[in-house]
Amino acid sequence: MKSEILSLLRERGDYVSGQELCERFGVSRNAVWKNIEQLKKDGYDIAAVRNRGYLLQESAAFDVFGQNELESRIRTKWVGKRALFFPEIGSTNIRAKQEAEEGAPEGTLIVSDHQTAGRGRRGRAWESPAGCNVYFSLMLRPELKPEEAPMMTLLMALAVAKAMEEMEPKAAETDDAAVRIKWPNDIVIGGKKVCGILTEMSMEQTYIQHVVIGVGINVRRQTFASEIAQTATSLEEAWDKPVPRCELIGRICSAFEELYENFLQSRTLAGVREEYERFLANKGREVRVLDPAGEYDGTALGINDRGELLVRSTEGNIKEVYAGEVSVRGIYGYI
Ligand code: BTN
C-alpha cells in the first residue's frame, strides 16, 4: 500500500485528506497514519496538516532507491508490474533468468543498487558499485526466432534514450549533453558511454523460451576504473543535475512497453527506424566493422527494418551489419 500512497500523493501534487486515503485503500485512519510514518522513516518528506491531510514534498536530489519507490514509479500495463528490488545481488540478469525458469510472468523486472557479479558483453565484468547507478533486467517471453532477438536490444536502447531525453529535454539542444545511441545498443553522451545493455536468451531448438534484457546506467558522478575512465560518463556528470533513479526506470518501462507492443505487430523495426536514427551517433560517421570474416571500413548510413547497420564500404557497396556477430568502432575515437 505504501507505493500506492506514494503514487497518489505524487500524482496529486497537493494535500490528500486522510479520509480519502482510508476510502481509497479500505483501511482505518490509523493504518494510513502508520504507513505515512513508515514512509517518513524511509526518508520521504511528507507534511501532515490537520484538516488538510498529507502532502509529499519532493526534491530531485533526494533519491530513494527501494521497493516502494520503484513500484510507485511504474505506470505501465505489464512491463515491471512485478518488480523486485534487491539492495545487493550477484547479477540482475541471472536472477531474472531464474525467475523465468520458475514461471514468473512476462515483464518481471529485477532491480538492484549493487551487483557483486555484474556481467557485461563479450564475457566482460560490469562494475556495479552501490549507491550510484541503475542495474536492472527485464524478462520477456517473445514469440520470435533467435535471430530476431537483437531487435529487442535495439528497442531497449531506444526506450532508454527516450526516457533519458524526457528526464532532461534541454539535453537535445547541445552536442555535449545530447543522448545518442552507438549502434546497436550503447547509450552515449558527449561521446562517452553512459549505459550498456546485455541481452541473454534461453532457446529451445528454433524458438526462444525467454529473453532477459539487462541494463546498466551510470547515474552519479563517480571514479571509473582506469580501463574505461576515458570512455565512460554518468548522467549527473553530463547534465550537472540530480537524476532520481526510480523515476528513470519507470520512464524506461513505459517507453519500452509502448515500443515493444508496436514491434510485436510487425516483428520489424520499420515503425521505429526513423526515431532510432534520430538518436544514432554513428550516422554519417566513418566506422570500422570488426567482422570475424574480415574487417572493413565504411560510412554508417542508418539501420534497416531488421535493425542491421547499413554501412557503405570504401568500395561503394552497401553492407548490412548484423548486431549479433560483429562490432563497430569509430575510426576517429570511440563512436
Ligand atoms: C555492456 O557490456 O555494455 C553491457 C552491460 C550490461 C550491464 C547490465 S547491469 C544490469 C544487468 N545485469 C548484469 O549482470 N548485466 C546487466
- Residue-wise pLDDT for 103-139, tens only, equals 999 999 999 999 999 999 989 999 999 999 999 999 9
pLDDT (0 to 100) of residue 5: 94
Give the pLDDT confidence of 279-313 residue by residue, as tens digits: 999 899 999 888 888 888 999 999 999 999 999 99
pLDDT of residue 35 exceeding 80, the answer is: yes
Q: How far apart are CA 100 and CA 10, in angstroms?
A: 32
pLDDT (0 to 100) of residue 4: 93
pLDDT (0 to 100) of residue 43: 87
- State if residue 146 touches ligand 1 by the CB under 6 angstroms criterion: no
Please name which of 60, 209, 196, 228 lies closest in space to residue 149, comparing C-alpha atoms: 209
Best mutation site among 135, 156, 192, 252 for ligand 1 pocket (most ligand atoms within 8 Å of CB): 135
DSSP 328: E
Please name which of 55, 285, 85, 48 lies closest in space to residue 183, comparing C-alpha atoms: 285
CA dihedral 87, 93, 95, 99 (to 10 degrees): 130
Name the residue with the closest Cα to ligand 1, atom 2.
120
Give the pLDDT confidence of 51-82 residue by residue, as tens digits: 999 999 987 667 889 999 999 999 999 999 99
pLDDT (0 to 100) of residue 132: 95
- State if residue 184 touches ligand 1 by the CB under 6 angstroms criterion: no
Q: For all residues of the chain together, what is the average pLDDT?
A: 93
Q: Where are the beta strands (DSSP E) in the chain?
A: 46-49, 53-56, 83-86, 109-112, 133-140, 179-182, 186-189, 192-204, 207-218, 286-290, 296-303, 309-313, 318-321, 327-330
- Mean pLDDT, range 96-106, rounded to an integer: 97
DSSP 319: E
- State if residue 330 touches ligand 1 by the CB under 6 angstroms criterion: no
Residue 335's pLDDT band (boundaries 50, 70, 90)? low
Q: How far apart are CA 95 and CA 121, in angstroms?
A: 17
Residue for grid cell 536514427 = 277
Residue 239's pLDDT band (boundaries 50, 70, 90)? very high
**pTM (global) more than 0.95:** no
Cell numbers for 209, please give them.
523460451
- Mean pLDDT, range 148-167, rounded to an integer: 96
Q: How far apart are CA 93 and CA 86, in angstroms?
A: 13
pLDDT (0 to 100) of residue 331: 61
Cell numbers for 164, please give them.
533519458
- State if residue 92 touches ligand 1 by the CB under 6 angstroms criterion: yes
Of 303 and 332, the one with more pLDDT:
303
Q: Look at 59-73, 145-159, 241-255 and tell me which has the smallest mean pLDDT.
A: 59-73
